[in-house]
Amino acid sequence: MTISVGDTMPAENLKYTDEQGIKDVNMQQYLKDKKVVLFSVPGAFTPTCSAKHLPGFVESYKDLLDLGVDEIICIAVNDAFVMKAWEKDQNAKGKVTLLSDGNGDYSSALGLSFDGSKFGLGTRSQRFAMIIDNCVVTHLAIEEAGDFKVSSVESILEILKNN
């Protein structure tokens, strides 16, 4: 079942890496008492994800913070080391938090995974964006396959400005 507006985010762990190694992030604990924009991409270093999706949020992070967002999070079904390398490549550090959903468990818990096996990708996360307030989804935008519209930073900024 796909997560919906009004639902509480699942408590499963995502991962990140720092100087000490790989760390777990329990998402319910992490999202508590925060207003967060969380978006997901099918894969780090993939064309649309690297050319448009993540860069848009990196470039507009101050605008999002000015609209009351505490943090911007990007997840992808890639390992924590790939996400760390992508963070560096995209100059995202301190702007967008990149978290690893290495096995796709979190995307599956959200009901937002897809089978990309015919493209050699295995199970991946759909492209989506959501606004979360204290662990509760207040906005959810899921892209149609191959699209990049409703999960863009421009769309999320518009939603935040009108609410």
Residue 89 located in a structural domain: yes
pTM attached to this predicted model: 0.95
Coil/strand/helix, residue 90: coil
Q: Which pLDDT does position 122 carry in this prediction? A: 67
Write out the two tokens for 95: 């702007």
Q: Where are the beta strands (DSSP E) in 11-127?
A: 13-18, 21-26, 35-41, 71-76, 97-100, 113-115, 123-125
Q: What is the pLDDT of residue 68?
A: 98
Please indicate, yes or no, if residue 120 is contained in any of the structural domains. Answer: yes
CB 93 within 8 A of CB 87: yes
Compute CA 152 distance to the chain's CA centroid, rounded to the nearest angstrom. 11
Strands 71-76, 128-133: pairing is unpaired
**Measured in whole angstroms, how far is the alpha carbon of residue 5 from the centre of its chain?**
16
pLDDT of 117 > 80? The answer is no
Per-residue pLDDT at 120: 66
Tell me whether residue 112 is in a domain: yes
Three-state secondary structure call for residue 39: strand
Average pLDDT over residues 39-52: 92
Per-residue pLDDT band at 163 (split at 50, 70, 90): confident
Q: Please, what sign has the CA dihedral across residues 88, 147, 31, 108?
A: negative
Residue 7 lies in a domain: no
Q: Is position 2 within any domain?
A: no
pLDDT (mean) for 8-36: 95
Whether residue 33 lies inside any domain: the answer is yes
Number of compact structural domains in the chain: 1
The answer to whether position 5 is within a domain reads no
Active site residues: 49
pLDDT digits (tens, 9 = 90+) for 65-94: 999 999 999 999 999 999 999 999 999 999
Domain range for 72 is: 13-161
pLDDT tens digits, one per residue of 128-149: 999 999 999 999 999 998 899 9
From CA 119, how far away is CA 19, in angstroms rounded?
34
**Residue 20 maps to which CATH number?**
3.40.30.10
Is 154 inside any structural domain?
Answer: yes
- Band (pLDDT 50/70/90 cuts) for residue 44 is very high
Angle value at C-alpha 115, between 114 and 119, nearest 5 degrees? 125
Q: Residues 2-29, buried b or exposed e (16+ Cβ, 10 A)?
A: ebeeebebbebbbbbbeeeeeeebebee
